[in-house]
């Protein structure tokens, strides 16, 4: 090491737990039963696990806990709290520990993504300015108009005051695979949704939350809340992205922000539109009985909506691929395991740790025998894709919007990048 590193201050974790956790669920209530650790994919990484975290706090080993890199391996997925008989939330203290690391020692990738998010009015972790986003949407829309005559009238409204839905957008699509935006536009068109994009605060991702920097998290959410309030939309509809929902939902509550809108997830509306007959998807296309499983994103299932949205998701998937072609992963719904793409792990530069963490997810997927994993979360998507390549899996990962348009027979030719030969063969 050539340069002296900034020291990591020492936190009094036992006291912090008393301050942050409710009575009866602080560290002193731990039964040391180990349900947390035995169901934590980060157990063993850096020789740590959630129970050890609690016990080390109780034994006063604050320096060790303040400096353990394990806090960047924990994805803050809250499965430990979910299974804990005393409902002890270790992730709150892990979050505190993350925030306590000096910026120059935090994983550079997460810090960089947060900085970019803070820079512009877009709040895009990939640094895409509002003008570029508007232009990209226009370009792609124009391309659809010329190449897909059926959709010559397709619209992607921008900054439309009074629209019912404010729909956010993960930066990954406009930045690196813009044609992936189109299937969702088609779905919204089909159901006749009254919606708009915004040129400000449109981006979904929020790595500031993962840095443990509450101030930065708050700033990002404030800008997004302002953008929605400004357009006077009734519903902020979160795209197929996990942490974007949680960071907004939790952030508004945590920071007491004044939001004049409801927060909803696209999954809820997919299910509703199908039930209402507005989205006539079915499984007749799946003539070869291709099997699908779903990855429940921790952020929208266990950490916010709970099992209700997991049920909606299953309703959508069953309708879409056929009852017999859906194989649930075990465990699932709120008891689901994080894939290892959460908490900023993908940006943390800890590839070996991340893949070791994800091995359980890989095994769970393999056990379903499914050919595809459906997941409405970009981090899940990327991580599960990477796990497949790394561990030699033979599955694909698809967005819901892709499969819906496939079912409706409206999936454009350049909107099929996540389909394998088996699915492509069904379209031909």
Site for another protein, rule CB under 8 A:
14, 24, 28-34, 44, 47, 51-52, 55-56, 58-61, 64, 85-86
Q: Which DSSP helix (H) or strand (E) runs through 16?
A: helix 13-20
Q: Whole-number minimum distance, CB 89 to another protein, in Å?
A: 16
Q: Which is nearer to another protein, 89 or 213 (CB)?
A: 89
User: What span, in angstroms and rounded, lies between the C-alpha atoms of 162 and 389?
Assistant: 45
Query: If you write DSSP's letter for every residue of 344-367 in order, what string do you get?
Result: TGGGTT-HHHHHHHHHHHHHHHHH
Q: Whole-number minimum distance, CB 4 to another protein, in Å?
A: 23
Q: Whole-number minimum distance, CB 25 to another protein, in Å?
A: 10
At 326, list the tokens. 């859906």
Q: Whole-number minimum distance, CB 52 to another protein, in Å?
A: 7
Q: Whole-number minimum distance, CB 88 to another protein, in Å?
A: 10
- Cα-Cα-Cα-Cα torsion 240, 122, 263, 379, nearest 10 degrees, comes to 30
Name the residue with tokens 């089909």. 190
Q: Which is nearer to another protein, 59 or 367 (CB)?
A: 59
At 139, list the tokens. 């370009």
Q: Whole-number minimum distance, CB 55 to another protein, in Å?
A: 6
Q: Which is nearer to another protein, 8 or 58 (CB)?
A: 58
Name the phi and psi angles at 399, rounded to 5. -80, 155
Q: Which is nearer to another protein, 46 or 179 (CB)?
A: 46
**Looking at the chain, how many residues does it have?**
428
- In our burial notation (b when 16+ CB lie closer than 10 A, e otherwise), range 260-279 reads ebeebbbbbbbbebbeeeeb
Q: Which is nearer to another protein, 55 or 318 (CB)?
A: 55
Taking phi first (over 0 means left), then psi (-120 to 50 degrees means alpha), and beta for anything else, what does residue 287 get? alpha
Q: Whole-number minimum distance, CB 56 to another protein, in Å?
A: 6
Q: Which is nearer to another protein, 25 or 366 (CB)?
A: 25
User: What span, in angstroms and rounded, lies between the C-alpha atoms of 86 and 42?
Assistant: 20
Q: Which DSSP helix (H) or strand (E) runs through 28?
A: none
Q: Which residues contact 312 (CB under 8 A, 6 or more apart)?
A: 267, 268, 270, 271
Q: Which is nearer to another protein, 84 or 266 (CB)?
A: 84
């Amino acid at each position: 090491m050539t340069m002296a590193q900034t020291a990591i201050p020492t936190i009094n974790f036992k006291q912090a737990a008393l301050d942050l956790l409710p009575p009866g669920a602080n560290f002193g209530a731990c039964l040391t039963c180990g349900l947390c650790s035995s169901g934590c994919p980060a157990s063993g990484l850096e020789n740590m696990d959630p129970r050890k975290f609690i016990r080390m706090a109780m034994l006063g080993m604050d320096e060790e806990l303040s400096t353990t890199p394990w806090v960047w391996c924990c994805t803050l997925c809250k499965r430990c709290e979910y299974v804990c008989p005393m409902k002890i939330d270790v992730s709150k203290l892990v979050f505190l520990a993350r925030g306590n690391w000096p910026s120059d020692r935090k994983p550079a990738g997460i810090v960089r993504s947060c900085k970019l998010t803070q820079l512009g009015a877009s709040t895009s972790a990939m640094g895409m300015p509002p003008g570029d986003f508007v232009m990209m949407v226009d370009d792609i829309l124009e391309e659809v108009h010329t190449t897909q005559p059926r959709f010559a009238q397709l619209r992607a409204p921008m900054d439309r005051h009074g629209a019912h839905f404010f729909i956010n957008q993960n930066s990954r699509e406009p930045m690196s695979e813009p044609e992936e935006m189109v299937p969702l536009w088609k779905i919204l068109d089909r159901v006749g949704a009254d919606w708009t994009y915004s040129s400000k605060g449109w981006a979904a991702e929020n790595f500031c939350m993962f840095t443990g920097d509450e101030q930065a998290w708050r700033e990002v959410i404030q800008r997004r809340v302002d953008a929605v309030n400004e357009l006077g939309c009734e519903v902020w509809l979160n795209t197929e992205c996990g942490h974007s929902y949680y960071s907004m939902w939790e952030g508004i509550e945590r920071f007491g922000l004044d939001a004049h809108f409801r927060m909803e997830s696209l999954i809820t509306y997919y299910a509703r539109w199908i039930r209402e007959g507005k989205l006539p998807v079915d499984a007749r296309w799946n003539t070869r009985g291709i099997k699908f499983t779903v990855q429940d994103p921790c952020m929208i299932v266990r950490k916010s909506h709970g099992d209700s949205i997991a049920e909606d998701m299953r309703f959508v998937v069953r309708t879409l691929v056929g009852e017999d072609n859906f194989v649930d992963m075990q465990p699932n719904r709120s008891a689901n395991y994080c894939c290892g793409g959460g908490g900023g792990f993908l940006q943390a530069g800890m590839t070996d740790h991340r893949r070791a963490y994800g091995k359980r997810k890989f095994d769970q997927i393999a056990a379903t025998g499914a050919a595809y994993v459906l997941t409405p979360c970009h981090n899940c998507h990327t991580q599960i894709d990477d796990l497949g390549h790394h561990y030699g899996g033979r599955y694909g990962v698809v967005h819901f919007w892709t499969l819906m348009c496939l079912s409706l027979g409206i999936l454009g030719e350049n909107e099929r990048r996540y389909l394998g030969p088996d699915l492509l063969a069904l379209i031909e």
